[in-house]
């Protein structure tokens, strides 16, 4: 799964990397968590970065507080789940990030269980998770709430010792454009949802500061002592 990540890249770098304008200013986030409003690029407006709430609230839900708000969606079953099937066809997005966190659930190499790790590209550059999005309308107030979920897949060799799932990191600008494109058939979109090459990633153990979203500070990124 993917339950925490970071985006600390400067706005200028993000604009250059993704070819999209920032709809609003946003501060670096060292510990992005569910329910926060975070930078996303949608297939409906690929030229713009906008903020959306992490945790999907489908448009058809009557009461947004009564049901689940999934932060992740399994790539293998997107076409089977009612909550995701139509979104795969018409509402795909890029979730901007530059690292994510995972907790090793079993004791290994002398480390205690639930040890937090930071995972990033060897280049250190920002990238995009494959995501799905939707907009929920409050019929009483007229408020529109845009939300998203991150697609996950099976782990690569780097991630296997840490967790049985990993977020789908799209493999560069060409894959990102294909994920957003409405001209690409469903099979083409599904083919993009694969594990990122392990040799292009690295990871290291960090402190338990990351356990609390209240710790949104550079110290979260520091290697554990």
Which amino acids are annotated catalytic? 2, 102
Query: Phi/psi at 12 (nearest 5 deg)?
Result: -60, -40
CA distances from 220 to 39, 142, 147, 157, 208 (A): 20, 38, 26, 25, 8
- Name the token pair of 54: 């992490």
Number of H helices, E strands in the chain: 4, 13
Where in 43-125 does DSSP place strands (E)?
A: 45-54, 72-74, 92-97, 99-104, 115-121
Other CB atoms within a 10 A radius of the CB of residue 104 amount to: 19
Q: Position of tokens 């399994």?
A: 74
Where in 122-161 does DSSP place strands (E)?
A: 127-137, 144-153
Q: How many CA atoms lie within 13 A of 190 on its CB side?
A: 11
- CA end-to-end distance (rounded Å), the chain: 26
């Amino acid at each position: 799964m993917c339950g925490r990540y970071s985006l600390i890249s400067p706005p200028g770098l993000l604009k250059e990397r993704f070819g999209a304008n920032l709809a609003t200013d946003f501060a670096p986030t060292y510990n992005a968590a569910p329910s926060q409003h975070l930078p996303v690029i949608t297939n409906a407006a690929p030229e713009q970065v906008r903020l959306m709430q992490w945790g999907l609230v489908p448009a058809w839900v009557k009461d947004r507080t009564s049901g689940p708000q999934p932060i992740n969606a399994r790539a293998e079953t997107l076409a089977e789940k009612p909550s995701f099937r139509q979104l795969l066809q018409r509402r795909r997005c890029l979730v901007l990030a530059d690292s994510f966190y995972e907790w090793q659930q079993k004791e290994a190499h002398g480390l205690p269980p639930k040890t937090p790790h930071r995972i990033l590209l060897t280049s250190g550059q920002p990238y995009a998770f494959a995501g799905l999005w939707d907009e929920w309308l409050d019929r009483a107030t007229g408020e529109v709430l845009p939300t998203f979920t991150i697609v996950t897949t099976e782990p690569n060799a780097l991630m296997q010792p840490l967790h049985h799932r990993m977020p789908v990191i799209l493999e560069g600008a060409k894959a990102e454009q294909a994920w957003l494109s409405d001209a690409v058939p469903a099979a083409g979109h599904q083919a993009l949802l694969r594990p990122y090459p392990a040799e292009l990633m690295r990871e290291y153990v960090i402190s338990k500061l990351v356990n609390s979203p209240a710790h949104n500070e550079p110290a979260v990124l520091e290697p554990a002592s």
